[in-house]
Structure 1
């Protein structure tokens, strides 16, 4: 399987590397990282001061050549009535997106200081694996340690392991 990472906006090289390494490690897949793309026109919602996640998925699906394509962006995303999303994927689809915007905050809502690069990197790895998992047909898992567990806050992201639980892993294989 080939997964294409499509950076949208200014995504630092270490973040792209962490995302690529996580996908290769968990899914044993080939990963290609594209050149950065511009934010999709019409994606910004002025009333919310956020971007529509669906627009980023459509962009990744259009420009990516992989079996699975994921946009990676530092922009703040939302989906429908949710205040924000760390990422979004359509079950069994080929496109998805991860936003690093809110993954940089600490569990108590402030910005991390000591070890923040490591914590941030862990969160990026978990979310990229999570969203690609959805494109492979995985739904949210009840196991709070599984990377496929629903995690609406960074505190819950931090609790998860960076890999699939045994049950989810069997479903993918």
Structure 2
């Protein structure tokens, strides 16, 4: 299995490395980093001052060279009527997206003693693994420690682990 990471906009080398390492660790897959892409035409919604997540998925599917392709962007994303999303993927699809925009807060609320940079890196790793999990057909998991747990706030992202629980792992094995 090959996962192609498609940076959209100015994505740091650290973010790309973290995403790649997490995917290799959890899914034991090959990972490539695509050339950086521009924001897709029509993605920006001026009324919301945000970008529509679906257009980033379509871009990843169109330009990515992997069996699974994931766009990573620093832009703030939304989906339908949700105020924002950390990421989006379609079940069993080939494309997905993660936004780092709302993962960059200075603290995890006292959950750990990690630096802000380490907290951010952990969040990126978890969200990348989560969205690719959906492309493998995994739905949200009720186990709040599983990476596939639905996490609408960074606090909930911080609580979960980077790995799949046993039940989710068995579904993709």
TM range (shorter): over 0.9
Q: Within the alignment, does 1:121 sit opposite 2:121 as a pair?
A: yes
TM-score (norm 1): 0.96
Give distance in 2, aligned partners of 1:27 and 1:93: 16
Aligned length: 169
Check the 8 A contact 2:108/2:119 in 1, yes or no: no
Give distance in 2, aligned partners of 1:123 and 1:73: 14
Give distance in 2, aligned partners of 1:55 and 1:30: 25
Partner of 1:86: 86
Partner of 1:161: 161
Give distance in 2, aligned partners of 1:166 and 1:90: 22
How far apart are residue 107 of structure 1 and its match? 4.2
Give distance in 1, aligned partners of 2:9 and 2:50: 14
Q: Within the alignment, does 1:144 sit opposite 2:144 as a pair?
A: yes
Give distance in 1, aligned partners of 2:170 and 2:28: 14
What's the secondary structure of 1:15's corresponding residue? helix
Give distance in 2, aligned partners of 1:34 and 1:64: 7
What's the secondary structure of 2:140's corresponding residue? coil
How far apart are residue 114 of structure 1 and its match? 6.5
- Deviation beyond 3 Å, 4+ runs, structure 1: none
TM-score (norm 2): 0.96
Partner of 1:38: 38
Structure 2 spans left out of the alignment, 5+ residues: none
Deviations 1:85-136 (A, max 9, x none): 000000000000000000011345xxxx960110000000000000000000
What's the secondary structure of 2:128's corresponding residue? helix
